Amino acid sequence: MSAALPAEARAVALRYLTDRAVTLPDLERIFGLSYGQVLACLAAELVPLRVDRSRCGWSDADIDLVRRMAAAGWNEYRAAAQFGVAARLLVDVLRGRGVDLVGLWPHRGSGHRGSGPRKPEQRDAVIRLFRGGETDVARIAVDCGVSENSVRRWLLTAGFVVPRKPVVRRPHPGRAAAVDRFRAGGVSEGWLAAEYAVSRTTVRNWLQAEGLVG
């Protein structure tokens, strides 16, 4: 797959982001690129494909898109990243739809299991990218076709200091509602715990943070 110019990548990504009606084949015609080049442009600019798995599930068009990605040289990790899912989920979906995984990615017929190295070159590629200044573990994993855990393990084994993966703490979706219900009166901590499927300790921590209980 030949690489598109950086200027083209930005233009393709901008058109895809701003025109909600434009499709990938449209971008092929507009910019005179191959399908693989369009995908490469979007990937280079970190633009996710417009796919809502929770709403529409996996359509035949999605499966066909994965096939075309594989034909363009994309491994399962890179393809999964474009759909915003883990590679393991993508593989499970394809297997469930009866797709020949070895036909898409021949390395899957080598007896490899898990996220360890399929080739010594993969570990070397990870180390080479890190030495070259790429410190984003997720991007290295996608580029090299391995898991983030493998990237971290190989770099640590090689003696590199690897940036810690940031821990994102998201508030419980029912926290604000639970606090409001308690303020309104008439409910106990035990009732809130059962209603929002959390422990009583969690409810008490919420209420203490708002100064509602001692």
Is residue 113 over pLDDT 70? no
Is residue 110 over pLDDT 70? no
Output the pTM of the full model.
Answer: 0.37
Of the given ranges (10-19, 57-66, 86-95, 109-118), which has the lowest mean pLDDT? 109-118
Is residue 140 over pLDDT 80? yes
Percent of the chain with pLDDT over 70: 80
- What is the reported pLDDT for 151? 86
**For residue 188, how many other CB atoms are within 10 A of its CB?**
11
Please name which of 1, 87, 104 lies closest in space to residue 44, comparing C-alpha atoms.
1
pLDDT in tens, 53-105: 444 467 777 888 888 888 888 888 778 777 767 777 788 788 878 888 888 88
What is the mean pLDDT of the segment spanning 40-46?
73
Say how many Å lie between the first and final Cα of the chain, rounded.
64
- What is the reported pLDDT for 166? 64
Q: Tokens 């796919």 label which residue?
A: 51
What is the mean pLDDT of the segment spanning 140-168?
78
- What is the reported pLDDT for 108? 66
- What is the reported pLDDT for 49? 66
Is residue 3 over pLDDT 50? no
Domain ranges of the chain: 6-109, 121-157, 175-209
Percent of the chain with pLDDT over 90: 0
Q: Containing H/E element for 143?
A: helix 137-144
Q: Tokens 């703490």 label which residue?
A: 169
Amino acid at 159: G
| Averaged confidence pLDDT in the chain | 77
**Separation CA 44–CA 86 (nearest Å):** 19
Q: What is the CA radius of gyration of the chain?
A: 23
**Separation CA 151–CA 138 (nearest Å):** 9
Question: Token pair of 126, please?
Answer: 């990870």
